Amino acid sequence: MMFTKRLREPVMRGEITCSVRIWSSPHVKMGGRYRLGEGAIEVTSIREISMQDITPDLARRSGFLGVVDLLRVAKHGPGERVYLVEFKYRPGG
């Protein structure tokens, strides 16, 4: 799971613990570990949500200024399904 450069440090500090992704199908799995810096994020939850579920609060929790800012980054490829991925950063992998 990749993050834009400006989000990497806040994720590694534990300030960001969720991400909204727009995919055709999930690209991560529950319990999966994905490398980030010297450690990894571990997916604790993934669920499909609707566009209406993307609130300003959720956008801020995901590290964005607001919904429009989040949506500029969230779409990965041709998918239209919206997923909320929650995770914990594990230092050292």
- Give me the tens of pLDDT residue by residue for the chain, a chain 93 residues long: 889 999 999 999 999 999 999 999 999 999 999 999 999 999 999 999 999 999 999 999 999 999 999 998 887 677 899 999 999 999 986
Provide the domain limits for residue 38.
Answer: 5-90
Structure confidence at residue 49 (pLDDT):
97
Q: How many domains does the chain have?
A: 1
- Per-residue burial over 26-60, b if 16 or more Cβ lie within 10 Å, else e, is bbbeeebebebeeebbebeebeeeeeeebeeebbe
* CATH code of 20's domain: 3.10.400.10
Q: Quote the radius of gyration of the chain (alpha carbons, Å).
A: 12
Structure confidence at residue 78 (pLDDT):
79
Residue type, 88: K
Report the half-sphere exposure of 54 (CA within 13 A, side-chain side): 25
Structure confidence at residue 74 (pLDDT):
86
